[in-house]
A and B are shown apart, each in its own frame.
Chain A
Amino acid sequence: MKRNARLLGLLLVLVLVLGSLPLFALAEAAEFDISQPVELQIYLIGGPARDYDMVLEKLNEKTKADLNATVNINWIGWGDFQTKYPLILASGEPVDLIYASVWTQYYAEAAKGAFLDLTELAPKYMPKSYAEITPDFMQQATVDGHLYGIPAEFYQFGMMGYILRGDLMREYGFEGISHMDDYGVFLELVRDNNPEMSPGDFIATSDSLEGMLWREHGFQEITFPLVYDVREEHPKVVNFYEEAYILDFFLKMKEWGDKGYWSKSVLSNKDENAYASGLAASRIHNQDSWKSSYIAHPEYESQFFFLSPYSIKTQAMQDGMAVPASAKNPERALMLLEKLRQDREYYNLLTYGIEGLHFEVTEQNTLNPLDPEGFAPEGYCSWGFKEHKFFITPEGMPDNLDEVNAKLEEMAIVNPFVLFTPNFEPVKNERAAVASVYQQYAKPLIYGYIDNPEEGYKTLLMQLEIAGIKEMQAELQRQLDEYIASLAE
């Protein structure tokens, strides 16, 4: 007994002595204990810049001093991120911070328990950035009452449209696009006047004219081909292929395909750079692609046209960062995120590279990329912590950018269902079957491969039915109704 007491006393002394050591460090870093050096494992999507290691070295000097942490960045390549991203989360490998977005299945992964709940950690370890999250974004990032991701405080009014070579438009005297058929006119002009070019830059996996069609009818995608019109008070989940105008569309696509508006091998084409490399005269993509192709090739004078009846503010989790459930140092990861979002030097490093070497800020307060080969601005998955307050407009933006932005903002509507995140679990078999049917029976129709579109269309509808589109539609309608009912409460 006596011996035990002595041991206890010794222990107490030890605790006091040891405890006092990091006391100084503690005082410096507010209330957090960062006495242990850690290495933060971060996963980003894409590939590093040539000079990324150089930039990372600079960043690590800062993190070592500020957070007693070093940062190790791992890349998930574009080629296989769809398979690798879920695998990394599933493997349980310790990851402290990861890029998260709706297109990396943020909601599905969150529902599967892949991310750490930040509801209590975030306000403590990244108080400033937490306070900046707007209520609508906060609500959108929250899943079942848990905050699983920190959305980047950046939004725009997203829009897909037709990107056309302006120099060719001028040459042909082509005015612009106010109907899909106008695009057909442009494609024909290219085919006749510039036979060395492909009129449109299409590949099997990219967005096609079909995507334009449902957008022009005011639909939003739930999981294709199920769509809904968010302008309705109580929207119906619609099977897009049951719309009356679809057959006419397929017939038109057959006609366009036969006329050679796109390659007859388009379904096996994997080269998505035809527009960027001057081999194609147009493409279908979003306004960001328009801007970047304008900057990359000012001589193309790229123009952007869109026919959707409205625009919608991008979702909160369009870009964000999350802490995987396997994280070893979630506290330090959030402290780093706070730095990235609140300290311009941190932000600039990972977003624009090293000042003076990779970029400079001009007198007009625009961004001049000095060495896009070494480090291209915003090129390396820095989107997860993108900030309006640190954003610098790049040089060489399209002349009519402000006009386009104003138009997009003017036509913006509030999507009351933006938080409706369907749970596909009950219909996952049907969803998989439908996805396969879409590739097999719809894609060939969209590119005019099918000699008899009427027959092909019937087959498509039948195959969708067999795959269980009706069950899926019913289930999603039920979930949507439920969601609307919960809104009313």
Chain B
Amino acid sequence: MNNFLMEMKKNRMLYIMLLPAVLLVLLLNYLPMAGIILAFKNFRYNLGIWGSEWAGLRNFRFFFLSGTGWMVTRNTILYNLINLLTTQLLAIIIAIVLNDIRGRLFKKLSQSAIFLPYFISWIIVGVFAYNIFNYESGLLNGALKALGAKPVNVYAEPSLWWLIIPSFNAWKWVGYTSVIYIAAITGIDPECYESADIDGANIFQKTFYITLPSIRTTIIIMLLLSIGRILRGDFQMFYQLVGNNGQLFSATDVIDTFVFRSLVTGGDLSMSSAATFYQSVLCFLIIVLVNGVVRRVDPDSALF
């Protein structure tokens, strides 16, 4: 106890600076956690959260009733893994390339162009996609027909979406993510490159022996942070690109869209809380697991 007070006294300025962040996390992340209780209740507005009766695990049943729960969990994890790998990999490549471009104007222009999709809402992207893939009048089929090929009905072919969704996702996020890597690369001591130049290293050798090892910690932290979201489907993306197209669900349905579709008519808060609770618990387990692995391999890069 005394140690604690001593510590507080010694570093009080630091702790005061930390205080707003701690309060914010408590207020926005810990306090709402009490809402988990809703998942186990039969929520009625007039009785309130505490007054409503307990429902046990009843609110979770719809999720597994039709076997769809497993399918959407699988889809969510797979999509996140694919998106995670493609986005991070592309972002790293872009960051390295942009860093080596000498022309200032060209560098800024291309960076802005890559960043731009981040600002376009999924609703608009959904309209783009529909105008590209529409069977009758879409851009894609127009091009295919002009080349004499057979038109493709993208909206009836689930397997194609394993390609389409990661592509749109990467297009939208790569610019944003690459900024973080660009920052990390800028932080590398230029002397390392200078001495590599003197030793006659080429650009690939410099990338593999200097740049990548130097940003390893950043890469791992970015991966860990993304893994924390692995059970959250980007609802906007899936919903705007696919809509209510049941034909594609086997390849495009993720937890969030499934829950939305199932509960939108009933509007049951308890059941949606149950679904969120399921996502959160699985997320928690996965992140603890992955972090454990990282701690074994590379203790410095682990989050905790």
Contact = CB atoms under 8 A, between A and B. Distances in A.
A204 interface: yes
Given A112-B45, A114-B46, A268 B130 contact: yes
A46 interface: no
A265 B130 contact: yes
Contact of A433 (B126, B153, B244, B262): B262
Q: Which of A113, A424, A450 gathers most chain B CB within 10 Å? A: A113
A269 interface: yes
Contact of A268 (B243, B263, B267): B243
Interface in B222-251: 242-249
B115 interface: no
A436 interface: yes
Interface string A407-441: 00000000000000000110011111101110111
A361 interface: no
B211 interface: no
A429 B42 CA distance: 12
Contacts of A265: 130, 133-136, 138, 153-155
Interface in A318-351: 325
Contacts of A186: none
B113 interface: no
Contact of B246 (A112, A267, A428): A267
Interface in A228-265: 260, 263-265
Interface stretch (B63-71, B88-96, B169-177): B63-71
A43 B20 CA distance: 36
B243 A267 contact: yes
Given A267-B246, A463-B66, A436 B45 contact: no
A223 B43 CA distance: 22
B244 A267 contact: yes
A86 interface: yes
B135 A439 contact: no
B62 interface: yes
B264 interface: yes
A72 interface: no
Interface in B263-288: 263-269, 271
Given A263-B136, A325-B46, A430-B65, A204 B267 contact: no
B44 A113 contact: yes
A443 B263 contact: no
Contacts of A439: 244, 246, 249, 261
Contacts of A86: 267, 269
A108 B66 CA distance: 24
Nearest to B264: A82
A440 B253 CA distance: 10
A105 B267 contact: yes
A439 B248 CA distance: 10
A194 interface: no
A467 interface: yes
Interface of A is mostly: helix
Given A267-B247, A270-B243, A439-B249, A428 B267 contact: no
B246 A268 contact: no
B247 A264 contact: no
A19 B261 CA distance: 57
B258 interface: yes
Contact of A428 (B126, B244, B253, B268): B268
Given A82-B264, A90-B269, A467-B66, A264 B58 contact: no
Contact of B263 (A204, A432, A440): A432
A113 B42 CA distance: 13
A468 B264 CA distance: 18
Interface string A256-286: 0000100111011110000000000000000
Nearest to B262: A432
A209 B263 CA distance: 24
Nearest to A223: B265
Nearest to B263: A432
B47 interface: yes
Nearest to A264: B135
Contact of B262 (A82, A436, A463): A436
Interface of B: 42-47, 58-59, 61-62, 65-68, 126, 130, 133-136, 138, 153-156, 242-249, 253, 258, 261-269, 271
Interface of A: 82-83, 85-86, 89-90, 92, 105, 108, 112-114, 204-205, 223, 260, 263-265, 267-270, 325, 424-425, 428-433, 435-437, 439-444, 449-450, 463, 466-468
Query: What are the 9 closest A-B residue pairs judged by CB atoms, nearest first?
Result: A113-B46, A264-B135, A267-B245, A432-B262, A429-B62, A432-B62, A429-B61, A440-B246, A433-B65
